[in-house]
Amino acid sequence: MPGIVIVGAQWGDEGKGKATDLLSDRIDYVVKFNGGNNAGHTVVIGDQKYALHLLPSGILTEGVTPVIGNGVVVDLEVLFDELTALASRGVDVSKLVVSANAHVITHYHRTLDKVTERFLGKRQIGTTGRGIGPAYADKINRVGIRIQDLFDENILRQKVEGALHQKNHLLVKIYNRRAISADEIVEDLLSYTQRLRPLVADTGLLLSEALDAGRTVVFEGGQATMLDVDHGTYPFVTSSNATAGGAATGSGIGPNRLDRIIGIVKAYTTRVGSGPFPTELLDESGEWLRARGFEFGTTTGRPRRTGWYDAPIARYASRINGLTDLVLTKLDVLTGLERIPVCVAYEVDGVRTDEVPVSQSDFHHAVPIYEEFPGWDEDISGARSFDELPANARNYVLAVEAMSGCRISAIGVGPERDAIIARHDLLG
């Protein structure tokens, strides 16, 4: 006790770092269990702003051991660039541990990500272009390269040659690109082995022992529920399990070690890339939310699509993840609105449905049914207790809580680390 999972409850960028911050003085380990450098979190500490893409946010908290689990795909260039950049700003990065079983993203994965997206044309996913999908595809096809392979040059060469054999045919004959040399890939990967060796461990064993010893371990999911490869808006998803179940498989501990499951949800909704988004606003309200919430991707800089809060999605996330708590973030962004619409259900072909439709086609043309709540004008960024919020803000939170299938245990009211209202103990 306790293992704590933190997952996004919408389409990502909900501000998961907020929950980690709230727990930070009680955390011993932070584990990234899925995804790669497609994630992006911005952490503001004092006047310093840190944008992380691959490393778990726990790297910024003194005393915490950050762990990259077996479920992650690792771009080694990005890993060492981020470590070097943080070290140069005085952050202690010496505790990082990387799973020997995590897969690596190579040059050919990045190339394939970009060319396949281009080839898809109008049907493109809108990926981050970081090679995430192709690296996971190789893992499932059993032609992936694992971190541990880098310590056996013979095996590494065999595996890279095996993986490139088919890919080069594809690149040259289908995509009209030049073939990639196995030697170059092997040489590039081997250039990291010396720096990598001291970081690599059996992270499943390490984490089990930590939990046995009563340490607090946070499992921080990348992306979010609606981008999960099984439970999201497939095929407009990422290629890993971003939901709570992924915390066990992606880090090598048993599911019975997970004591709290915290979902992070924005007070409105955003999405990057293609795919259905029922509450999306294509008018000036959407622009207003984007500007007010500074909704631009941390990783790609792309403007995020914006829309109102979607309660059926929050309920879905509560169920799929088994949420014990929700953290509602960016409530301050809604300040200044006269009325705030919330999607309470959908209409599909004239029929009301309270659930996320199981059919993707239905979800594509689901029309939100809105209920409106009165807004507030007061600056709420300084509020540190629920009672300090204006009555209309409190009512908005209570209404959203009643619809979302889970208690709201904390509320984010600004970008700073301490701009948060705690309502219930996240560990209690």
What residue ranges bind ligand IMP (CB under 6 A)?
A: 12-13, 38-40, 125-128, 130, 132-133, 223, 227, 236, 238-239, 272-273
For ligand IMP, the closer CB: 54 or 411: 54
Q: In angstroms, rounded to a whole number, what is the distance separating the alpha carbons of residues 206 and 110?
A: 31
Q: In angstroms, rounded to a whole number, what is the distance separating the alpha carbons of residues 141 and 163?
A: 10
CB 210, CB 2: distance < 8 Å: no
Nearest approach, Cβ of residue 428 and ligand IMP (Å): 29
Q: Per the omega criterion (within 30 degrees of 0), is the bond before 56 cis?
A: no
Nearest approach, Cβ of residue 57 and ligand IMP (Å): 12
CB 270, CB 293: distance < 8 Å: yes
For ligand IMP, the closer CB: 3 or 12: 12
Beta carbons within 8 Å of 103's beta carbon, 6+ residues apart: 72, 73, 74, 135, 136, 138, 139, 144, 145, 146, 147
Beta carbons within 8 Å of 12's beta carbon, 6+ residues apart: 39, 223, 224, 227, 270, 271, 272
**Dihedral, CA of residue 165, residue 171, residue 172 and residue 174, to nearest 10:** 120
Which entry of 13, 21, 138, 149 is annotated as an active-site residue? 13
**In the complex, residue closest to ligand IMP by CB:** 273
Which entry of 21, 41, 75, 310 is annotated as an active-site residue? 41
CB 305, CB 280: distance < 8 Å: yes
Nearest approach, Cβ of residue 306 and ligand IMP (Å): 13
For ligand IMP, the closer CB: 49 or 165: 49
Beta strands (DSSP E) in 378-419 are 408-412
| Active-site residue, 365 included | no
Nearest approach, Cβ of residue 148 and ligand IMP (Å): 24
* Spatial CA neighbour of 249 closest among 133, 327, 139, 144: 139
For ligand IMP, the closer CB: 73 or 342: 73
For ligand IMP, the closer CB: 220 or 401: 220
Pairing assessment for the beta strands 73-74 and 41-45 based on DSSP bridges: unpaired
For ligand IMP, the closer CB: 215 or 364: 364
| Active-site residue, 103 included | no
For ligand IMP, the closer CB: 167 or 305: 305
Nearest approach, Cβ of residue 372 and ligand IMP (Å): 28
Nearest approach, Cβ of residue 194 and ligand IMP (Å): 29
Structure-block tokens of residue 415: 């970008």
Nearest approach, Cβ of residue 8 and ligand IMP (Å): 8
The DSSP annotation for 61-83 comes to STT-EEEE-TTBEE-HHHHHHHH
DSSP state of 51: E
Residue in the structure block whose two tokens are 């993707």: 360
Q: Where in the sequence numbering do the catalytic residues fall?
A: 13, 41
